[in-house]
Structure 1
Amino acid sequence: MNILQYESKIWATADLLRGSGIKESEWPSYMMPFFALTMIESRLVRMFDDLKAEIGEEAFANIHKDDLYDLIKDKGQGYNIYIFEKNQTLTDICKNDKSFEIDFDAYLHGFDGETKDLLGVDATEGEKFLDIKGVISKLKAKKVLLGYTKLWSEIDLKPFNNSEITTLEEHIKRKWADISAETAGEQYTPDDVIALIAEIIASKIEESDKLLKIYDCTCGGGNLLFGVEDRINAKSKRLTQTYGQDWNDALYALAKIESRFRPDSKIEHGNTLVEDKFYNEEFDVVIANPPYGVSWKGYQKDIENDKTDRFKFLPSISDGQLLFMQHLVSKLDSFGMGVVVHNGSTLFSGDAGSAESNIRKWMLDSDIVEAVIQLPTDEFFNTGIYTYLWVLNKNKKPLHKDKVMLINASDKFKPLKKSKGSKRKEVDEASRIEIIYTLTQYQDTDYAKVFDKEFFYFNKQAIILTNVDEYGNGFEKKLKEGKKSEKLIPTKINYGERELTEFVITTFDDKQFTSLADAFEQDIKPFITSIDYKEQPLVISTTSAKYWFDSERETLVKEVNDKQEILGRGKIIVKSAYKNANKTQSERIEISVELTPDYQKDYEIIPFHRDEITNNKAIAAFMSQYITKPFTYLENVIGVELNFNKIFYKPEKLREVGDILAEIDAIENELKALESGLVL
């Protein structure tokens, strides 16, 4: 039997919801608790049958109830009085419509405490998890509780093992995510990507008796975590143990329920970034598909005050992906590896010196990034963007040390016959085999390149340029040593056709002010402060000279007794300031003028070299080749970005000129033929 036959049957239960006037976006909240209930019952019944077979029918019949309870409790998979003591299931309860509601309530309360909490049997105003209590109340109000429960009771999952049930669960949860899509940035990981992640991990791990601990810090309902575990178990003899954490109530509950039927699996509830429930654990394998572009503003203070030392840098508050990345790196043991799904922003967002760039630099400095794989577009169910697999490895082979491989697998897919939401492609088995082979070989191909990690580093060199006039001179040559400007005491300022002889307040909207200070504080300033000496002629007169900026020659000019002196390229800075009244002067607005050199801060992006001396020589060579103005070095910041577009860009092939001309001729001939056929 193929368990996926039940996918359509499960979704047929939604027909009853539709007929009851329940919105499609609300279906998952009605279906999740009943799907979980069906999974739990099927596994408990199967466990009960296995226990009978193990002990023997006759011996089993003579077991005392307390001993039976202890036996089942030791397995840690849950308990239900109806299943184990009354030998009744949901199907039996649905047979009697008169007592159904009472029996169903007793059946739900017959579960162990943890199961009741996860299902939300006694949910109050606090955490509801799957909130079956709230769903039952709504179904009662619609008068369809019995009919809805009966449909679910007909879904028999008992013949199937954990892996098969997980496969069905993945398909169901994918549709839930597709329908509700409640949280921006959350992406359900499709089966083919899970398979690729598992195969990457399987290609790296070695056979041993050591337990393989697998961790997902944003496990959701567990589809990625358990899907990877099942595929690794199919390929390797290593014993595995899964760990996961999520703070979505319903998805956590589903993952927790699933975990109870897996050996020593541990799932915790809560925000990983704020409260790491596995703070004292390290793992052999980390995996995650954290939310994209989701703000962490709601718990900003907790992150900023985090004492675990896992966050080396704090990225933009609008996107927490690189917080999850840093957390995962901190959870790797000394030989651990991982695969993390991200969108493109983690590759290149943020300039040199930004937290994002510094996080990438820290990861490459630590030599933990082995490869980054670009997946095709249209791979996920509710987004068509490119996504990327970061392959982390603390146990690189010697030839892989200090290197990073980029694999452009954007063309490695098979189109789906029928789209699933935004998902139109899948990384099929043949493509996965090719990608794994390429990663294992770790050599250049037409779609993969291996680089020294420093290839992705760059210098962002800050400089101060000195702008000069047409003669190559700057005003700083006219300044006395140690001076940064020349201050002028203006007697008159001419700006365009306007002459300002008295420095008065220019009021707006006929506002009246009791004092100059009142006006000045409210940003009502003399018009002189808005002067732009390049827009209109500006002449500053002092008792001994005139000064202005000659736009044609781009130089400051000083005139004394009709004789002009070229001062070099510079700026005229006009400032205003409020002054209190004193013994000799009343309150006033004073205008001051300064002549300063024309400096301009600039940045140059220059390739990076590992050796400091070589790097400095490369910067100097770049400057001598491309910078023609005088300049002074400022700080140099090292940035890191991994840009697939730059590396794998293929320019569009241009058409031959002859072909274009021939096409134009053909169009012209066609137009002439049409014109000749017109009847005037």
Structure 2
Amino acid sequence: MDDKTIQQAKTLANFVWQIADILRGDFKQSEYGKVILPFVVLRRLDCILEPSKGAVLRAQLSLPQGIDEQTRDMMLFGAIGGGIRVYNTSKLTFASIKAQNPAQLHDNLIAYITSFSTSVKDVFLDKFLFTDQLKRLSEAAILWKVFEQFAALDLKPQSVSTLAMGYLFEDLIRRFSEISNETAGEHFTPREVIRLIVDLLLVNDAQALTGKGIIRQVYDPACGTGGMLALTEEGMKDLNPDVRVELFGQELNGESFGICKSDMLVTGHDPENIAFGNTLTHDAHKGRKFHYMLSNPPYGVDWKKYQEPIKAEAETKGTDGRFGAGLPRISDGQLLFLQHMISKMRDDEAGSRIGIVMNGSPLFTGGAGSGESEIRRWMLEKDWVEAIVALPTDLFYNTGIQTYVWLLTNRKRKERRGRVQLIDASGEQFWKPMRKNLGSKRREIRDDARETIARIFHEMANGGGPWAEVSKIFDTTDFGYREIKVERPLRLNFQACVERIERLKLAKPFMKLDPAEQDDVLNVVTNRLSDALFKDRPTFEVALAKALKGAGVKIGAPVKKVILAALSERDETAAICRDGDGNPEPDPELRDYELVPLKEDWRAYVAREVAPFLPDAWVDEAYRDDADRGVGRVGYEINFNRYFYRYHPPRALAEIDAELKTLEVDIAGLLNEVAG
């Protein structure tokens, strides 16, 4: 992307942002976007449609009587040409409205907006709720000032490209989200990150996209303003100008949806392919499959408020639904979006490719048997994961966290089957600092670095050559493990000492006894068992029974149990406690879990890693995996740090000492200034 386009977008954003000064006092800062964004869209549409205004009005006059809405739309679209699927049948334009009496401005704008084709009119009325904002502006007597500023803004396509408009919207929405304290997961994907995802999706498909009559469907389930869809189409057109690209998306935020749908209208795409609503609870493209899918879903955002339909679908439909592999924890829904996308992979020879950017949580959060681990297991055992690319930090506008691009496909090439490529593109050789920060965005991926990452992926670089430190390929099973339960025997000593008798007094079954019964039990353990130390439970049980019998005291099983518990303490030198069959009882406090690599036999692992250090330990073979019924629960995690760890030696002591001495001198000087 050329710097000129980016700079143009920034200049426009600064100009538009200044208009917000007019709103100050009458609108809260968090409400600025509700005025500014629809006005930008309206002005852009006005600039696009102004040259064809006469042709549309003439076409409207020639429409046959009783014509249906669909035919009417197609005839008026044809009058505009250029694939634009929006029209306005009013004689008004921003220029003509400006030339009229300012007192008529509110009515003129309402008439202008309601004269748009249905799709655009609905966006302004239902999603932007723009008529409400116009009323507030009019009542505050600032509508003319705001309109006048936008009327002076040149947003003609020949002056401002679609790409520059995309940057403009992103910059504005970033600013509005910052002053509204939006969460870290609700941010926009920088264009260089989108281009990297597109490059990775298409780098192996150049031949498949070549030729005439190629049609491809692209889908983003959290499409925002449509940046990912637009750049994917651009990347495919670069490979084959004749390819027909059909764009589909769904978006929950009304303002972003309105911008995206408006963009589809003016670029010749079917606006009905962009749906409004929550993708996870209402799949607006149910039954559809797509060639390419890419997304940057919200992360670190919980799905508690709409968990019921998701859990219901997972329980009732299982693997026939979208969430059959498992449900992640309620605090993060990223893996729900990924499962949704997988459910839309095509079953034909063409198959599908997925590119999704997420934070580190989906890589390793959740132990064996958890929802996250089961989802990872499902994807890896199905052999859908092609590669995962670690990106630099500080790439996004509202958060500086580490992010990762996952690449999945159900049509892996032969050499990739059963394997996953990890690429660590977080190093300094892949990014450059920005001259001026944009929110939390302090870095950007260089164009040459983006090409390098795509080439590393395409060539399947694996631990050798110039990229040995940044690219490694593993078998899918390398990320799997068995979590086995390791038990150690329970060893207890028993003694009726003061401290332990006090524990007995606080035990609930003991406290439920009558006072007289309590006294009888206390007399037995205090006077008849004395302070003798027993290191064998059966011996103590015999002594206890004898003491109770000798005192003529009878107790039930619950009371006996609390006596044994209260008067016992763990003792490594005591005899092993055994059950009725003579087997050692496990000590819950000494219980441990070992993660055995999936490729290794757990018996050999225990013999090597456990038995030499804990000779009395054993594996609970009843602790088994629900799916394969093998000993231990199967889990999967992908830990980048483990595979790309770089040792950084500590600084020399002399260097640290010198720094401390310098700091001491500085502190002493500051103290002298304060004292003086």
Q: TM-score range by the shorter chain?
A: 0.7 to 0.9
Residue from 226, 229, 232 that aligns with 2:233: 229
Q: What SS does structure 2 have at the residue aligned with 1:13?
A: helix
1:433 Cα offset (Å)? 1.4
Q: 2:482 aligned to 456, 459, 465, which one? A: 459
**Which SS does the other structure have where 1:212 is aligned?**
strand
**Post-superposition shift, 1:249?**
1.6
- The one of 383, 389, 394 aligned to 1:373: 389
Determine if the alignment matches structure 1 residue 413 to structure 2 residue 431: yes
Query: Is 1:357 the counterpart of 2:386 in the alignment?
Result: no
The alpha-carbon deviation at position 663 of structure 1 amounts to: 5.5
Relative distance call for 1:625 and 1:211 in structure 2 (3 A) is: farther
Q: CA deviation at 1:268?
A: 0.4
Q: CA deviation at 1:600?
A: 2.4
For residues 186 and 61 of structure 1, do their structure 2 counterparts lie closer, same or farther at Cα, with a shift above 3 Å needed? closer
CA distance in 2, matches of 1:374, 1:313: 25
Quick check: which has more Rg, 1 or 2? 1
Q: What is the CA–CA distance in structure 2 between the aligned matches of 1:591 and 1:437, rounded to whole Å?
A: 68
> What residue is the counterpart of 2:405 in the other structure?
389
Tell me: CA distance 1:415–1:666, structure 2 relative to 1, closer, same or farther (3 Å). Answer: closer
- For residue 215 of structure 2, the aligned residue among 211, 215, 239 is 211
The DSSP-based 3-state class of the residue aligned with 2:121 is helix
State the alpha-carbon separation in 2 of the partners of residues 633 and 617 from structure 1: 15
> Aligned in 2, Cα 1:555/1:381: closer, same or farther, shift over 3 Å?
farther
Residue 264 of structure 1 and its aligned partner are, at CA, apart by: 3.7
For 1:134-173, list aligned pairs within 5 A: 134-160=132-158, 162-173=162-173
Contact 1:16 1:148 in 2 (8 A): yes
Q: Is the 8 A contact 1:162 1:261 kept in 2?
A: no
Structure 1 residue 353, shift from structure 2 partner: 1.0
Question: Does the 8 Å CA contact 1:42/1:158 hold for their aligned counterparts?
Answer: yes
Contact 1:547/1:556, CA 8 A, preserved across alignment? no
CA distance in 2, matches of 1:560, 1:296: 54
1:649 aligned partner: 645
Instruction: Please give the residue correspondences for 1:419-430 in structure 2 after superposition, counting only pairs within 5 Å.
Output: 419-430=437-448
Structure 1 residues 362 and 46: CA distance shift in structure 2, 3 A: farther
Do the aligned partners of 2:377 and 2:636 also contact (CA within 8 Å) in 1?
Answer: yes
Residue deviations 1:19-43, cap 9 Å, x none?
x453333221211111121122223
| Structure 2 counterpart SS, 1:416 | strand
Deviation at 1:245, TM superposition (A): 0.4
Mapped to 1, the partners of 2:396 and 2:659 lie a distance apart of 43
CA distance in 2, matches of 1:559, 1:102: 95
- 415-424 or 178-187: which moved more? 178-187
Q: Which residue of 1 aligns with 2:333?
A: 320
Larger displacement relative to structure 2 (390-399 or 595-604): 595-604
C-alpha deviation, 1:498, in angstroms: 8.4
Work out the CA distance in 2 between the residues paired with 1:453 and 1:391. 14
Structure 1 232/648 Cα, relative in aligned 2: closer, same or farther at 3 Å? same
* Residue identity in the other structure for 2:201: I
Q: Distance in 2 between matches of 1:221 and 1:549?
A: 75
1:116 to 118, 121, 131: 121
1:89 is aligned to 2:93: yes
Summarize deviations over 1:541-563 as a string: whole Å, max 9, x none.
898x889656xxx765847999x
Inter-partner Cα distance in structure 2 for 1:404 and 1:505: 57
Residue 17 of structure 1 deviates from its aligned partner by: 2.1
Change (3 A) 1:620 1:157: same
> Would the alpha carbon gap of residues 119 and 599 (structure 1) be closer, same or farther in structure 2, given more than 3 Å must change?
same
State yes or no: 1:268 paired with 2:257: no
What do residues 124-160 of structure 1 show as CA deviations (whole Å, max 9, x unaligned)?
Answer: xxxx411111211221122110110121122232233
Change (3 A) 1:211 1:610: farther
TM-score by length of 1: 0.76
Deviations 1:558-600 (A, max 9, x none): 47999xxxxxxxxxxx99859xxxxxxxxxx996647954522
Query: Would the aligned equivalents of 1:13 and 1:151 in 2 still touch at CA under 8 Å?
Result: yes
Residue in structure 2 matched with residue 192 of structure 1 by the alignment? 192
Stretches of structure 1 lacking an aligned partner (at least 5 in a row): 53-59, 121-127, 470-474, 476-487, 508-515, 532-537, 563-573, 579-588, 675-680
* Displacement of 1:8: 2.9
1:629 is matched with: 616
More deviation, 65-74/235-244: 65-74
Task: For residue 619 of structure 1, report the CA deviation from its aligned partner.
Answer: 4.7
Which letter maps to 1:272?
T
SS of 1:42 mapped into structure 2: helix
Could you say if the C-alpha distance between residues 655 and 305 of structure 1 is closer, same or farther in structure 2, counting changes exceeding 3 Å?
A: closer
1:549–1:557 CA contact under 8 A, matched in 2? no
Contact 1:46 1:158 in 2 (8 A): no
Return the structure number with greater strand share. Answer: 1
CA contact (8 A) 1:526 1:576 kept: no
Distance 1:627 1:157, change over 3 A: same
TM-score, scaled relative to structure 2 = 0.76
Which residue is 2:297 aligned to? Answer: 290
* Preserved contact between residue 295 and residue 317 of structure 1 (Cα < 8 Å): yes
Contact map agreement 1:547 1:559 (CA 8 A) in 2: no
Cα distance in 1, alignment partners of residues 613 and 52 from structure 2: 75
The residue number in structure 1 matching 2:573 is none
* Pairs aligned (count): 582
Q: Which residue of structure 2 lines up, in the alignment, with residue 79 of structure 1?
A: 87
> Is residue 343–residue 386 contact of structure 1 (8 Å, CA) maintained in 2?
yes
Which residue in 1 is equivalent to 2:459?
A: 441
Determine if contact 1:177/1:188 at 8 Å carries over to the other structure: no
| Alpha-carbon distance change, 454 to 169 in structure 1, aligned in 2, over 3 angstroms | same
Unaligned runs of 5+ in 2: 65-71, 544-554, 569-576, 579-584, 624-631, 670-676
What corresponds to 2:306 in structure 1? 299
Q: In structure 2, what is the Cα distance between the partners aligned to 1:185 and 1:231?
A: 26
**1:248-647 counterparts in 2 under 5 A?**
248-265=253-270, 266-306=273-313, 307=317, 309-311=321-323, 312-334=325-347, 335-411=351-427, 412-443=430-461, 444=463, 445-467=468-490, 494-496=496-498, 520=512, 540=525, 558=539, 593=564, 596-597=577-578, 599-601=586-588, 602-610=591-599, 614=601, 616-634=603-621, 635=623, 636-647=632-643
SS in 2 for 1:172: helix
Higher helix share: 2
**8 Å contact from structure 1 (residues 90, 153) kept in 2:** yes
Q: Contact conserved, 2:184 with 2:399, CA < 8 A, in 1?
A: no
Task: Give the % identical residues.
Answer: 27
1:232 CA drift (Å): 3.2
Amino acid at match of 1:440: H
**Residue of 23, 32, 55 corresponding to 1:17:** 23
Q: Is the 8 A contact 1:189 1:289 kept in 2?
A: yes
**Tell me, what secondary structure is at the counterpart of 1:213?**
strand
Aligned position for 1:125: none
CA distance in 2, matches of 1:362, 1:416: 40
Distance 1:632 1:259, change over 3 A: same
Aligned pair in 2 of structure 1 residues 95, 575: CA closer, same or farther (>3 Å)?
Answer: farther
Q: Which one-letter code corresponds to 2:634 in the other structure?
A: I
Residue matched to 2:250: 245
Question: What is the SS of the residue equivalent to 1:415?
Answer: strand
* Cα pair 1:547 1:558 within 8 Å, conserved: no
Amino acid at match of 1:332: M
Secondary structure in 2 aligned to 1:414? Answer: strand
| Stretch deviating more after TM superposition (459-468 or 325-334) | 459-468
More off after superposition, 108-117 vs 594-603:
594-603
Structure 1 residue 180 corresponds to structure 2 residue 180: yes
Q: Is the 8 A contact 2:60 2:89 kept in 1?
A: no
Structure 1 residue 383 displacement after superposition: 0.9
